[in-house]
Structure 1
Amino acid sequence: MILYLHGFRSGPQSQKVQALALRMAQRGLGDYLWCEQLSPVPCEAIAQAEAQLARCTTPPLLAGSSLGGFYATHLAEKHALQAVVINPFVPHAGFDQSLFIGEHQMIYSGERFSFTAEHAAQIAALDVARISRPENFWLLAEEGDEVLDYRHALKRYAGCHQSVLPGGDHSFTRWDDYLDAVIERAGLAA
């Protein structure tokens, strides 16, 4: 099973989720992907993922992009799970979370939501001080990420398997090249 956690303002309709779903369906594994619209409230998003984890009969692979990568990191550390993090959000010294505070709109559904100082505090509370099981993580990052500085991810995931590519952008433009490897990392074969 792969539990995919999408990024801030994104959703299950994202290009990465759709590409992964298609590849898994082509390999006869369509029933082994979970991705649902996560709440914009961080603790609620974690609760949604925790509820799905509780339904899993075997340990799933967590995959997450951007803020979803941050959530995947929290959950992987908490439950000793494998995780693939794609251009993940990494809180760091000097990061101003107030940049997110305010009104936002979901990219695919158009739903509007408020991100508050309380939500920013929830993210701070979910942060992982350090990666204690580097063997459980695979970082996929592109140096051309225009939203998040990939160097913060390099530091956070030091000692982890890393695939850091030149160019690209925050969407991780070479995602399709890694689909089969991500599926295989989940222990799925077909």
Structure 2
Amino acid sequence: MKIIYIHGFLSSSNAQKAQILRRELKKIKDIDFQSVDYPDDLEYSVDYLCKTIENELEKGEKPCLIGSSLGGFLSIILSVRYDLKIALINPCLYPSSWIKKMGYIGKSLTNFDTGESFVVRPEAVAYVELLEKELLRYRKDKTMVLLQSGDEVLDYRYALDFFKDIPVDVENGGSHRYDNFESKIDNILKFFKNK
């Protein structure tokens, strides 16, 4: 089974959850794990990730995705386009609204992990707004959602309401990073393996 981790905004393939997944999944036979970096500029990130998925499909692999925060949003888009199973960790569902609320448009930001800077272009945010229309096409049978109410970055209730038609794993407390993430890996794997 191929599992791809898609990190959140201003993060990298070496994010804390990626490190946990790399360590834990290494212990399990027949799991090929990959954590991908993608461009910080959101106008280019989806195309980059689509090419990553298409490369896997050409090899005969249909990957499962684990997406955290913005990576959750991107995972939904990829799941809709390629019919993939996804596990979403404290997902950011409408990143364009969040970026506007934070006042990031036109600002130079630095990726926490890579140290690289980029400007949040209005065109990139407009592109993300178009992508957000695909959210409503998410596949209920292919989506697992894990939330923690103590998320200090995103209000977990938005995701809880958005995914009201499927079971959602909500833990009281926690944080945006998702505390004790290791304890959820077995459930994620069961979901991915279940036909």
CA 1:158–1:29 in 2, change beyond 3 Å: closer, same or farther?
Answer: same
Following the alignment from structure 1 to structure 2, what is the Cα–Cα distance between the partners of residues 160 and 64?
Answer: 17
Aligned length: 186
Change (3 A) 1:131 1:141: farther
1:176 pairs, out of 175, 182, 195, with 182
Cα 1:180–1:69, aligned 2, differ >3 Å: closer, same or farther? same
TM-score normalised to structure 1 length: 0.89
State the partner residue of 2:130. 125
What's 1:110 paired with? 115
| Corresponding residue number in structure 2 for 1:42 | 42
C-alpha distance after superposition, 1:159-179 (max 9, x if no partner): 223111100110011211011
Cα separation, 2, equivalents of 1:164 and 1:52: 30
Distance 1:178 1:129 in 2: 24
Write the deviation string for residues 101-128 of structure 1: whole angstroms up to 9, x where unpaired.
Answer: 2111111111111111111112111113
Identity of aligned residues (%): 26
Q: Determine helix, strand or coil for the equivalent of 1:78.
A: helix
C-alpha distance in 1 between matches for 2:55 and 2:94: 30
Say if 2:54 is the partner of 1:54. Answer: yes
Q: Which residue of 2 aligns with 1:143?
A: 149
Aligned to 2:73: 70
Moved more, 33-42 or 167-176: 33-42
* Structure 2 gap ranges (5+): none
Q: Report what 1:86 is aligned to.
A: 89
Matched with 1:156 is 162
| Inter-partner Cα distance in structure 2 for 1:116 and 1:43 | 9
Whole-Å Cα distance in 2 between the matches of residues 184 and 33 of structure 1?
16
Distance 1:183 1:136 in 2: 13
Deviations 1:6-36 (A, max 9, x none): 0000111111000001111122456x11222
**Structure 1 unaligned spans of 5+:** none
Equivalent residue letter for 2:99 = Q
Give me the CA root mean square deviation. 2.0
CA contact 2:146–2:170 (8 Å) conserved in 1: yes
> 2:43, 2:123 within 8 Å by CA — same for their partners in 1?
no
CA contact 1:141–1:165 (8 Å) conserved in 2: yes
CA distance in 1, matches of 2:164, 2:94: 15
Displacement of 1:182 in angstroms is 2.0
